[in-house]
C-alpha cells in the first residue's frame, strides 16, 4: 500500500509497473507526462520471479513515443510479450466508469481477459482480423470492390474465432462475478451480463457482411463484425448505466475486475498483479473494505494507493504486508507492516 497526499507520486509507482506490463502508463495517453522535464526518455527495469525462475524486463520510451523493450536482455517485437511476462489487472477510477465510456472500453474488459486465458490463439486471431479489416476498409475507400471481397474469407475465419472466445469468456465472467458479488455482500437490482457480437445473431458473419456490402461501399468502411462488439449490462429496469446509481456502478465494475483477475489466476499460467489506484476514494467504506478483503483472500500480489490508511478500517490494514508513505520529493518510507 502506498499512501501520500495528492500529487505526491503514488500513481507514478503503479504507472511504472503498468509500463513494464504494457509499454505505456495508464494515467495518461501522453508519454511525455511521465518523463522528467530535464530528460529525453524514461526507463523502467524490473525483476520478475516465477517460482525459482527470474527474468529481467526493461522498457524505455522517449518524448516522441518511440522506445524499446527487452525480456531477459532480448528485444521483443511485440508489446504483447510484456503482458505475458507481467500480467496486470487495473482497477482505477476510469476503469470503474468503463460502462459509461462506450463499446470500445467495454470490449477492452473482455479482450484483456481472453488475451491472458487464450493468449496465442486469441492474439493471433485478433491480429489477423485487424489486418484484414484494415485492408478491406482501404479497398472500400478507394472503390476497389474486388479487392474488398478478397478479404472477406480472412475476416470471417478470424472474426468468428474471436467472437466464440469472447462469448465463452463473458459467460465465465458473469458466473464468477455473480459469486463474487455475493461474497462481498453487494445487493444490486437483478442484472444480466450479455455479449453482443457486432452483427445480428440470426446471421453468420459472412452473410452479415454480404447484407451490408452496398452500405459499406458508400461509407468506405466495414460496419459489422467483432470490431463493433459490445459488453452490455442490463437490469429489469433497462440498461445498468441508466438504472444503477453511480455508486452501484462503481461497485459492480470493481467486482467485475476482481472477477477478471480470479479467472486469469485459474485459467492462465501466470497470476496477475492487481494495480489498485485510489479506489477507496471512489467507494463507500463498506464496499472499499469488501474489495480489499477479496484481494487479501486471493493471496495475489496487490499494489494499491490511497491518500491515507484512515480510508480503510483497522481490520483491512492487518492484512497489508507493508504501508509506504510517499513524499512529494519522490521518496517512500516504510511506516507500517
Note the pLDDT of residue 328.
Answer: 63
pLDDT of residue 319: 53
Percent of residues, the chain, with pLDDT higher than 90: 42
Give the pTM: 0.85
* Cell 508519454 belongs to residue: 31
Residues 153/161, Cβ–Cβ less than 8 Å: no
Question: What is the tens place of the pLDDT at every residue in 137-184?
Answer: 999 999 888 888 899 999 999 999 999 999 999 999 999 999 999 999
Q: What is the pLDDT along the chain (337 residues), one digit of tens a residue?
A: 787 777 767 888 899 999 999 988 888 888 888 888 888 989 999 898 877 778 899 999 998 888 899 999 999 888 888 888 889 999 988 888 877 778 898 898 899 889 888 878 999 999 999 999 999 999 999 988 888 889 999 999 999 999 999 999 999 999 999 999 999 999 888 899 999 999 999 999 999 999 999 999 999 999 999 999 999 999 888 888 888 888 888 899 999 999 999 998 888 777 889 999 888 888 888 888 888 888 888 778 889 888 766 656 544 555 556 777 676 644 444 344 3
Per-residue confidence (pLDDT) for residue 196, from 0 to 100: 96
* Secondary-structure class of domain 96-269 per CATH: mainly alpha
pLDDT value for 200: 94
DSSP letters spanning 10-78: HHHHHHHHHHHHHSS-SS-S-GGGGS-TT-SEEEEEEEEEETTEEEEEEEEEETTS-EEEEETTEE-S-
End-to-end CA distance of the chain: 10
Residue ranges, CATH 1.20.1050.90, the chain: 96-269
Question: Where in the chain are all domains bearing CATH 3.40.50.300?
Answer: 1-86+272-337
In the β-sheet with 302-306, what is the strand arrangement from edge to edge?
Answer: 88-91, 273-277, 302-306, 2-3, 323-326, 332-336
The CATH class, in words, for 1-86+272-337 is alpha beta
When computed from its CA atoms, the radius of gyration of the chain, rounded to whole angstroms, is 22
Amino acid at each position: 500500500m502506498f499512501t501520500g497526499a495528492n500529487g505526491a507520486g503514488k500513481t507514478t509507482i503503479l504507472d511504472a509497473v503498468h509500463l513494464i506490463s504494457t509499454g505505456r502508463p495508464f494515467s495518461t495517453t501522453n508519454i511525455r507526462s511521465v518523463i522528467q522535464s530535464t530528460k529525453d526518455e524514461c526507463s523502467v527495469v524490473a525483476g520478475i520471479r516465477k517460482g525459482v525462475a527470474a527474468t529481467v524486463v526493461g522498457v524505455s520510451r522517449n518524448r516522441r513515443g518511440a522506445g524499446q523493450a527487452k525480456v531477459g536482455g532480448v528485444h521483443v517485437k511485440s508489446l504483447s510479450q510484456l503482458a505475458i511476462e507481467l500480467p496486470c489487472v487495473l482497477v482505477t477510477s476510469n476503469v470503474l466508469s468503463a460502462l459509461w465510456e462506450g463499446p470500445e472500453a467495454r470490449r477492452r474488459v473482455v479482450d484483456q481477459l481472453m488475451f491472458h486465458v487464450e493468449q496465442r490463439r486469441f492474439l493471433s486471431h485478433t491480429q489477423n482480423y485487424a489486418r484484414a479489416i484494415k485492408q478491406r476498409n482501404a479497398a472500400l475507400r478507394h472503390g476497389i470492390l474486388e479487392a474488398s471481397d478478397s478479404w472477406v474469407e480472412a475476416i470471417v475465419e478470424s472474426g468468428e474465432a474471436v467472437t466464440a472466445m469472447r462469448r465463452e469468456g463473458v459467460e465465465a465472467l458473469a458466473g464468477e462475478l455473480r459469486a463474487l458479488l455475493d461474497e462481498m455482500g453487494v445487493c444490486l437490482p437483478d442484472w444480466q451480463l450479455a455479449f453482443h457480437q457486432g452483427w445480428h445473431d440470426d446471421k453468420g458473419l459472412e452473410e452479415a457482411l454480404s447484407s451490408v456490402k452496398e452500405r459499406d461501399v458508400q461509407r468506405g468502411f466495414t460496419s459489422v463484425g467483432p470490431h463493433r462488439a459490445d459488453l452490455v449490462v442490463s437490469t429489469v429496469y433497462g440498461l445498468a448505466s441508466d438504472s444503477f446509481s453511480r455508486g452501484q456502478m462503481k461497485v459492480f465494475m470493481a467486482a467485475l475486475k476482481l472477477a477478471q483477475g480470479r479467472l486469469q489466476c485459474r485459467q492462465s499460467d501466470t497470476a496477475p498483479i492487481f494495480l489498485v489506484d485510489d479506489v477507496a476514494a471512489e467507494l463507500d467504506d463498506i464496499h472499499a473494505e469488501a474489495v480489499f478483503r477479496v484481494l487479501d483472500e486471493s493471496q495475489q500480489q496487490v499494489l494499491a494507493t490511497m491518500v491515507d490508511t484512515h480510508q480503510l478500517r483497522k481490520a483491512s490494514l492487518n492484512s497489508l504486508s507493508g504501508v509506504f508513505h510517499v513524499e512529494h520529493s519522490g521518496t517512500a518510507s516504510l511506516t507500517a507492516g
